[in-house]
Structure 1
Amino acid sequence: MRKSKSFCALAFAFMLMPVSAVAGDVTITVANNSGVQRQEVVEIPVKDVYAKLGINDGDKFIVKNALGQQVTYQITYDGKLLIDASVRPEGTADFTIVPGTPKPMKTIVCGKQYPERVDDIAWENDRTAYRVYGPALQRTGEKAFGIDVWVKNTPDLEVEKRYETELSNHGKIEALKEEGKTAEALEMEQETTYHYDHGYGLDCYKVGPTLGCGAPALMFGGEMVLPYCYKTYRILDNGPLRFTVQLEYNPLTVGTDKNVIEHRIISLDKGSNFNKMTVWYEGLTKPCDMVAGVVLHSEDTKSVLYGENYVLYADPTDNPAKQNFQIYVGVLFPNGVKATKDIMYETPTNGNAGHGVGIITYQPGERYTYYFGSAWSKNDVRTLNEWKLRSEETLNALHAPLKVTVK
C-alpha cells in the first residue's frame, strides 16, 4: 500500500512539473549591446541545441518567441540554426526551443537556376533580387560578367513569376513583330516584360562586361581580369531565411599563372540589403591585387561615395530620363582594404564609364569576405544619404554582432 501511494504521489508531482522541465527546453537569449534597434538573422550551432534538448541530430523541434508564438527558423548546410531576431537598444530577446514538429514556415529568401533563361541563377529576399549569368549565356557570346540587380517594392517572392511571365510571352511578341504588328507587340511587351515596372519592381540595371553590383576581379598590369559566366554551381541553402550558392568559374590566365580558378560563396539573409561574398582563387602562385566594386555608368559618374571601407553609388538605371528613380548599390569591406577609388575607362563603352572599387592585396590560398548589396529609391531607401546611413549601420553591426547564448 505504501508503494502504491508513493508511486501515485510521484506521478502527480510529475504532472504538475512545468512542461519545460519535462521536455528539457532550450532558451536562446540574443543580447544587443548597442544603442540602436537591431533586426538580424542570428546563428547558433545547431549541435548545441540538439545536445541540450537531448534529441538526436535531425530530430524536429519548434522555436517560440517570448509571446509563445512559433517563429520561422532554418538549419544551414554548415550546421547553424538561424533565427530572425528583433532586439531593442541595449536589450535582450528570448526564444524557447522545444522538441516537436513545427508548423509550415513561410519562405522569405530563395533562389534557383533558370536553364530556360540561359542558365541564370537568381535569388531574392524581402528587399531585392540578384542574378549571375551561366554557361548557356557564355556560349551565345554575349558579354555579361557581373552581378545583376532586380529591384522590388514588395516582401513577396517575385522572381519566378517574372521569369514565367517574361518567357511565356516572348515568342508571342516576336511573332507579332514578324507580322508587322509593331504596336500590338509593344503593348504586349509593356504589359509582360520584367524590364517594365508593373507595380512590384523590374530589371533596369545595366551589367554587360563589368563587375555589375559587387563582383570581384584580380588585377594584372593595371587592368581587371574579369571572370566570365559561372561554370558550375551548388545551392547550399535555400530558405526560408537564407540563400547560399557556391560558384566555380572557368580558368583564367593571370600573369604567368595559366590556370587560375575563381570560387565564390554568396549568401543573402532575410531583411538584409547586403549579400555576404567569400571569394578565393585556386592556382594563383603569387600575391596579386584584387578589386571588388560596382560599375559606374556614363549617365552619372558623380553620385558615388568612397569611404575608408565602402564604395556606394546611386545608379541612374538603364533609362534615367524616363525611369526617374535610382538604384543604390554598394560594396562594404568590414575586413578593410588598401584603398577605395575609381578605375575609369579611357573610352566608355555601351554606357559603362568605369568602376568604383575597393582594392586589397590578395594572398594565394586566402578566403576574402566582403559584402555587396542594393536598394531602390521607390522602396526602402529614398536617397543616397539614406543609403550611406544604411551601409554604415550595416558595417557597425558586422563589427559588433548580436551576442547569442544558449541555456
Structure 2
Amino acid sequence: MKKIIFLSLTLSFFISCDKKTEPFSNIEIKNNLNVDREFETVEVDISTYQLDEKSSFVILDENTNEEIISQVIDNNLDGKNDIIIFQPKIKANSSKKYLLTSKETTKDSVPVYCYSRFVPERTDDYAWENNRVAFRTYGPVAQKMVEDSIPGGTLSSGIDAWLKRVDYPIINKWYKKNTLDIGAYHKDSGEGLDNFHVGSSRGVGGIAAKVDTSFYFSKNFTSYKTITTGPVRTSFILTYVNWDANGKEISETKYISLDYGQNLTRYEIELDGTDTISVGLTLHKQDGKTSTNNNWISYWEPFDDSELGQGMVTTDAYFIDSEKYVTSKVDQSNYFANLRVIDGKVIYYAGFGWKKSNQFTTQKEWENYLKDFSKKINNPLKVL
C-alpha cells in the first residue's frame, strides 16, 4: 500500500443547508481549444474580500455544489492572502461555472502533494516536488565547500532532476534515508532515485547568457523564501549574486512554482543586464535526440536501464530559436532555447519525463506532451 505523507492544512468543508452564504463571486472558466483540459491551474483574486477568523474561502461547482480542491496563497508574503487557485475540468470548446464563497473553517489533514523546502541537513539544497516529478538546486554553503576544497560541495546553478515513480511525496523520506546511509537516494528501492548528473551543466532548465559564442551563468543561489505548499501548488523564490557575462553584469531572481499533475516547473525570472537568455537541457553523454517546434525544445536520451525526456516550453513572445552546444569541457554541453527578455523578465516551463515512471514510454509521447503543453499555455483558460 502506498504511504502518503500528510501535512496539516486548513480546509473548509460543506456548510449545512441552513447555513448557506452568498457567494463573493461567480466565476466562469472558458476553454477555447478543441481539446478537453484538466490539471491546469487558474487563479482568482481574493485580495479585496474580507473573512472573519472562523471562515475560509472555497470554490464550488455551480451546478453540483461540489467543493473543488483549492488553495489560498499569500503571494507577496505580507500576511494577507492574494489568490485562490484550483484546477477545473473543462470540455473542449466549452465553459463551466464556479462560485467563490466561504465556509466555516475546520482543521483537517490533506495530502500536500506540491511541496518544497530548504534542506540544511544535505548541505543547503532547495528541493521541490509534486505527484509526478521532483527537483533540487544548490545553495551558498555547497558553493563555499567547493571553493574551499572541502569534499561534498556542489558549485552549480543547474537544476537537478529526482526521478520519482510514485505519486506520493518522497523529498523528506529520501533525505532522511541519506542522512542514515550516505548516497542512499542514488539507489532505486522502488520509488525512484537520483541518478541525474548536473555538475556545472544547466541540468533541466537552468539559464545562461550567451555572449559571442560562449555561455555564462550564475553560481549557487544565495537566499530563498518559501511562499506556499499544498494540494495544488508549491512556490518559492531564489536569489543570486549578480554575475558576470564577459563584462556584462547580470542580476537574477527566480520565482519558481510547480503545480499538481504537471511534469514541468514554471520559472518566472527577473533579469537585468541582458536582452536575451538561454535555457539549457544538459546533453549528458550526447547520445540522445534533440527536437524543437515553434516554442519548445526536447532532449530524449538513453538513461541507465531506461530512457529520459527533458523539455522546455514557453510562449510565442519569448521564444527566439534553439541551438545544440557541444564542447569538450566537462558538463558544458547543453541544448539551449534562446529567449527574449521582455519588460525585465522571462517565463518558461522546464521538466522531464522518465520512462521507468510509466508516465511516458516513448520519445513521441514525450514530445506530444510538450506540444500539448505549448498549445495550452499559448491559449490559457479564460477566467470570466
In the other structure, the counterpart of 2:293 is 307
**Residues 266-305 of structure 1: matches in 2 within 5 Å?**
266-282=256-272, 284=273, 287-300=274-287, 302-305=288-291
The one-letter code sitting in structure 2 at the alignment partner of 1:101 is T
Are residues 1:70 and 2:67 paired?
Answer: yes
Q: Please identify, of 137-146 and 115-124, the stretch whose mean Cα deviation from structure 2 is larger.
A: 137-146
Are residues 1:331 and 2:331 paired?
Answer: no
In the other structure, the counterpart of 2:4 is none
Question: What is the total number of aligned residue pairs between the two structures?
Answer: 348
For 2:302 and 2:377, locate their aligned partners in 1 and report how far apart those are by CA, in whole Å.
29
Do the aligned residues in 2 keep the contact of 1:37 with 1:88 (CA within 8 Å)? yes
Are residues 1:201 and 2:198 paired?
Answer: no
Give 2:118's match in structure 1, choosing from 113, 118, 125.
113
Are residues 1:398 and 2:380 paired?
Answer: no
Cα offset, 1:240, TM superposition: 2.8
For 1:101 and 1:91, locate their aligned partners in 2 and report how far apart those are by CA, in whole Å.
33
The one-letter code sitting in structure 2 at the alignment partner of 1:296 is L
Taking structure 1 as reference, are residues 27 and 58 closer, same or farther at Cα in structure 2, changes over 3 Å only? farther
The one-letter code sitting in structure 1 at the alignment partner of 2:137 is V
For 2:319 and 2:169, locate their aligned partners in 1 and report how far apart those are by CA, in whole Å.
35
Taking structure 1 as reference, are residues 102 and 304 closer, same or farther at Cα in structure 2, changes over 3 Å only? farther
Give 1:357's match in structure 2, choosing from 304, 321, 336.
336
In the other structure, the counterpart of 2:44 is 44
Cα offset, 1:206, TM superposition: 1.1
In the other structure, the counterpart of 2:151 is none
Q: Please identify, of 28-37 and 209-218, the stretch whose mean Cα deviation from structure 2 is larger.
A: 28-37
In the other structure, the counterpart of 1:128 is 133
Cα offset, 1:401, TM superposition: 1.3
Residue deviations 1:322-369, cap 9 Å, x none?
xx2122111112133221111111x152xx461111113547x61111
For 2:319 and 2:58, locate their aligned partners in 1 and report how far apart those are by CA, in whole Å.
42
Do the aligned residues in 2 keep the contact of 1:216 with 1:290 (CA within 8 Å)? yes
The one-letter code sitting in structure 1 at the alignment partner of 2:175 is Y
Cα offset, 1:71, TM superposition: 3.2
In the other structure, the counterpart of 1:61 is 57
The one-letter code sitting in structure 1 at the alignment partner of 2:374 is L
Cα offset, 1:102, TM superposition: 5.1
Q: Please identify, of 23-32 and 396-405, the stretch whose mean Cα deviation from structure 2 is larger.
A: 23-32
For 1:260 and 1:360, locate their aligned partners in 2 and report how far apart those are by CA, in whole Å.
15
For 2:96 and 2:207, locate their aligned partners in 1 and report how far apart those are by CA, in whole Å.
37
What is the TM-score when the length of structure 2 is the normalising length? 0.83
**Residues 160-175 of structure 1: matches in 2 within 5 Å?**
160-170=172-182
Structure 2 counterpart SS, 1:297? coil
Do the aligned residues in 1 keep the contact of 2:300 with 2:310 (CA within 8 Å)? yes
Taking structure 1 as reference, are residues 378 and 102 closer, same or farther at Cα in structure 2, changes over 3 Å only? farther
What's the % identity of the aligned pairs? 23
Cα offset, 1:304, TM superposition: 1.3
In the other structure, the counterpart of 2:255 is 265
Do the aligned residues in 2 keep the contact of 1:381 with 1:387 (CA within 8 Å)? yes
Do the aligned residues in 2 keep the contact of 1:309 with 1:340 (CA within 8 Å)? no
Cα offset, 1:91, TM superposition: 3.3
In the other structure, the counterpart of 1:316 is 302
In the other structure, the counterpart of 1:371 is 349
Are residues 1:144 and 2:147 paired?
Answer: no
Structure 1 stretches lacking a partner, 5+ long = 1-17, 171-188
CA RMSD of aligned residues (A): 2.4
For 2:46 and 2:334, locate their aligned partners in 1 and report how far apart those are by CA, in whole Å.
41
Cα offset, 1:294, TM superposition: 0.4
The one-letter code sitting in structure 2 at the alignment partner of 1:306 is T
For 2:143 and 2:42, locate their aligned partners in 1 and report how far apart those are by CA, in whole Å.
37
Are residues 1:384 and 2:363 paired?
Answer: yes
Cα offset, 1:194, TM superposition: 1.1
Bigger share in helix: 1
Residue deviations 1:67-116, cap 9 Å, x none?
44433211223322101212222333443433322563431201101011
In the other structure, the counterpart of 1:100 is 104
What is the TM-score when the length of structure 1 is the normalising length? 0.79
Do the aligned residues in 1 keep the contact of 2:268 with 2:346 (CA within 8 Å)? yes
Larger Rg: 1
Do the aligned residues in 2 keep the contact of 1:62 with 1:101 (CA within 8 Å)? no
Do the aligned residues in 2 keep the contact of 1:119 with 1:133 (CA within 8 Å)? yes
Q: Please identify, of 230-239 and 353-362, the stretch whose mean Cα deviation from structure 2 is larger.
A: 353-362
Do the aligned residues in 1 keep the contact of 2:217 with 2:245 (CA within 8 Å)? no
The one-letter code sitting in structure 1 at the alignment partner of 2:381 is L
For 1:152 and 1:355, locate their aligned partners in 2 and report how far apart those are by CA, in whole Å.
23
Structure 2 stretches lacking a partner, 5+ long = 1-16, 76-81, 147-153
For 1:299 and 1:403, locate their aligned partners in 2 and report how far apart those are by CA, in whole Å.
41
In the other structure, the counterpart of 2:11 is none
In the other structure, the counterpart of 2:22 is 24
For 1:83 and 1:113, locate their aligned partners in 2 and report how far apart those are by CA, in whole Å.
25
Cα offset, 1:165, TM superposition: 0.8
